[in-house]
Amino acid sequence: MAKINIIGTGPGSRDYVTPAARKLVQASQVVIGAKRSLKLFQEDIKGETLELTAKNMEEALKYALVSAQNEKVVALLSTGDPGFSGILGSVLRRSMNENIDINVIPGISSMQACAARLCIGWDDAVFLAFHDGADLEKKRALAEAVKARKTVLLLPEPKTFPPREIAKYLLSVGADKETSVSVCENLTLNNESIIDTTLGEVAKLSFSSLCVMVIKRNSKTEL
């Protein structure tokens, strides 16, 4: 059976790329991924490469399927972990009617890196991703989690729902402006930064597109 390998590339630094990921990329005849992901594996790639962009997503995934069906070893690189706001869902939807075996190599998500940096036990935290858009249902889920005084780790959508807009939304539905917030930018990279502040202050600030926002348990939070 034809097979596609979906490989998690970690949060950004080569130090966080797993040996299993590197080994499989080295054995691949076709490697497809975003420019940043391809750069992480530049010393490992021996086969053909195709840069993945928002504009060529359909074309690139189709090429991956065709290559796999032609018995080539195919690697699809996914930032962080493929299963959380990664490429796994897109591949599964497109390969639903194809005779394709999907093999996932997990990676370290920026959410995990964030939890580690902030010493957060995330077994009872709420994880949310807005990369695919911030519809009303997702916004309500966020508000409910904050109302329940859960620790919330979330991936903002850089253009339409960045941390500033998230903070404004929560304030508009009754969250206390003194609610504790951390924003972790560029995790594991040389320009990594962590800002500990409040919801009210975040509503005034701008952050990198590579960030994780954490809304912490706070007895003052009201919704």
The residue among 154, 140, 13, 14 whose CA lies nearest residue 85 is: 154
pTM: 0.91
pLDDT in tens, 78-114: 999 999 999 999 899 888 777 889 999 999 999 999 9
The predicted model gives 5-29 an average pLDDT of 98
| 36 lies in the same domain as 123 | no
Domain that holds residue 58: 2-108
Residues 34 and 58 in one domain: yes
Report whether pLDDT(223) > 70. no
pLDDT, one tens digit per residue, over 131-168 is 988 999 999 999 999 999 999 999 999 999 999 999 99
How many structural domains are present in the chain?
2
Report the pLDDT value the prediction gives residue 54, as an integer from 0 to 100: 87
Q: Distance (Å, rounded) from C-alpha 63 to C-alpha 217? A: 45
**103 occurs within a structural domain:** yes
pLDDT at 52: 96
69 SS3 class: helix
> What percentage of the chain reaches a pLDDT higher than 70?
97
What is the domain-level CATH number for residue 98?
A: 3.40.1010.10
Distances, alpha carbon 101 to alpha carbons 39, 59, 138, 190, in Å: 26, 19, 31, 37
Of 1 and 72, more confident:
72
What pLDDT score does 6 carry?
98
Is the pLDDT score of 203 beyond 70?
A: yes
pLDDT of residue 77: 98
174 plus 193 within the same structural domain:
yes
On average, the pLDDT of the chain sits at: 94
Domain boundary among 108, 133, 148: 108
Residues 50 and 125 in one domain: no
Asked if residue 95 and residue 77 are part of one domain, the reply reads: yes
The answer on 67 and 56 residing in a single domain is yes
H helices present in the chain, as ranges: 19-26, 35-40, 57-69, 88-94, 110-117, 136-147, 163-172, 199-202
Q: Which two tokens stand for residue 206?
A: 């701008």
**One domain, residues 138 and 98:** no
What is residue 96's predicted lDDT score, i.e. its pLDDT?
A: 72
3-state DSSP assignment of residue 91: helix
Mind giving me the DSSP string for 3-15? Answer: EEEEEE-BSS-GG
Q: Is 11 left (phi over 0), alpha (psi -120 to 50) or beta?
A: alpha
End position of a domain, from candidates 87, 108, 129: 108
